[in-house]
Amino acid sequence: MLTIDTVTREQVEDFMFLEAEMLDEWRLKEWLTLFTADGSYYVPTTDTPANASPDNALFYVADDRFRLEQRVERLLKRTAHAEFPKSKTRHLVSNVRIRARHDDELDVGAAVLTYRTKMGLTETYIGSYRYRIAVTPEGLRIREKRCILDMEGLKPNGRISIIL
C-alpha cells in the first residue's frame, strides 16, 4: 500500500501519465475518479500570481468538485459547440518532482505542454502544474490541480475548451 513517506516520484509520474492519457482519450468520467470528493481544478489568469485565490482574483477556470463534474458533463455533450466535433489533444507531462510531503498530501510540480488540434489548426498551451495529491488507501487522488500558464493571455488560443 502507498504511504506518504514511501511513495516515489515514479509512482506519481505513472499517476500523472495515466491522467494525461485519460484526457487525451476523452475518458473524462473516468478522469473524475482521480479526484478526491473535495477536489478542485484551477487555471489562474496569466497576470495573476500563481498562488492567487479565485475568491478574490479573476481566473480562467476555478472549479470545485461540483462544477468540475458539470464541466465534464458539458464537454461530453454534442451541444458543447467549442468541442464539437471533439478536438484531438496531447498532454506532454515532464519535469515531475515531489516538492514536499505533509500529512496525507504530496506537493507535486511538473511542466506541461498541451496541443489541441481542430479544424486544421493546432494550438499550444504551455505551462506548469502544481498538484496537491492525497495518498489514500485507494491510491493517489488529486485534491487540487492547478495549471499555471506561461503564456501572455490565451493568444492565439482564444479559449480553454479542453481540460488542461
Partner 1 sequence: MNMPLTPEQPAVWNDPEHHIFKVSRRSFTDTQVFRDEYNRIFDKCWLYLGHESELVKPGDFVARIVAKRSILFTRDAQNKVNAFFNACPHRGAQVCRERKGNAKSFQCFYHGWVFGADGTLKSQPGSECYPADFNANGAANLVPVPRLDSYRGFWFLCFDRNVQSLSDYLANAKEWIDIIADQSEVGMTLVGGTQEYQIRANWKLLTENSIDGYHAINTHATYVDYLKNMQGSMSPVPFEGTGYDLGNGHAVIEYKAPWGRPVAQWIPLWGEEGKIELAKVRARLVERFGEARADRIATLNRNMFIFPNLVLNDIMAITVRTYFPTAPDAMQISAWALAPKDESAWARKFRLSNFLEFLGPGGFATPDDVEALEQCQRGYEAMKEAPWNDMSKGMIKEKVNYDDELQMRVFWNEWQRRTQATALGKGDA
Residues near partner 1 (CB under 8 A): 43-48, 52, 54-62, 66-67, 70-71, 73-74, 77, 79-83, 119, 121, 152-161
CB of 18 to partner 1, least distance (A): 24
CA distance 68 to 4: 26
CB of 77 to partner 1, least distance (A): 6
Smaller CB distance to partner 1: residue 71 or 101?
A: 71
Q: How far is the CB of 58 from partner 1 (least distance, A)?
A: 3
CA dihedral 36, 45, 29, 33 (to 10 degrees): -10
Q: Please, which residues bridge with residue 126 across strands?
A: 113
- Closest separation between CB of residue 14 and partner 1, Å? 28
Q: Which residue lies nearer to partner 1 by CB, 91 or 141?
A: 91
Q: Which is nearer to partner 1, 19 or 83 (CB)?
A: 83
Burial of 33 by CB count in 10 Å (0-12 exposed, 13-18 middle, 19+ buried)? exposed
Distance CA 41, CA 31 (A): 12
CA distance 100 to 97: 9
97 or 159: CB nearest partner 1: 159
